Structure 1
């Protein structure tokens, strides 16, 4: 799976569950290559790290001279989820805490599992403040969640049909 496939699945499920809860807030991916402008209120997620889990698996399905070589690696990616602004009577902390509960919920975990994405338990909520562009203190709550998915490559590998050893005694 590519990063975009994983992020699209996560964003779609977050939007669905926020809509079902009656919370109308955009969900955006952080660190995008094109700037989209800032919303007053939003939920944002972005990757922090990725670690390989276990050994890289290899398999072959030989057809003629093509080995149909495929290598698969399970990865564990840490995402940070952050809420900004207020929606209805909810503070940024309320929005972020609600999203954390949604990420831990059975509907979220099962929907992503069906798309071959594992969800680990979301971590503690952090609530730092910063001074915004208007000189006011603004809350910037966030939490981390680990997800798992596979990455795959298909190297061009030729198949060997026969091996003729030519060994001589010295």
Structure 2
């Protein structure tokens, strides 16, 4: 399949407005920016790791996609706050589940839920707690499995600049899509 086939397929996804295949140098820079962001505190909580971006970058072909508000984010959780094997919190995009969790006494901030019975772990072992940004579920593109990552703000700005998009525009985001050849 030609590059144009993948680019056309990606542009055909609702909410994707611009697509650029990354060079090896650009992939290295995105990884460097992610590693730098991971050294800090993510979401104001604790250190973290962007598993989704790292997995996308490992694929044979990696595309940066600029997205607008029409892009459909998957219903699955892609942010987890963990301490060891215990999930302390996660994002929940299903309205009914979010309401149920709130009624059960869990702490809900937007779509982020902190499980009340796990908060002691967060308090006692904060230095072991980590934010995991997981791959997004998108399915296949032209019969190839796609791995999707949501870049950190510094990587987002870098990708926008490489695509010629105004980095001040807050209405547009980016995703990385890795496809195995």
Q: TM-score, normalised by structure 2?
A: 0.32
Q: TM-score, normalised by structure 1?
A: 0.34
**Highest relative contact order (Cα 8 Å, sep 6+), 1 or 2?**
2
Q: State the structure with more CA Rg.
A: 1
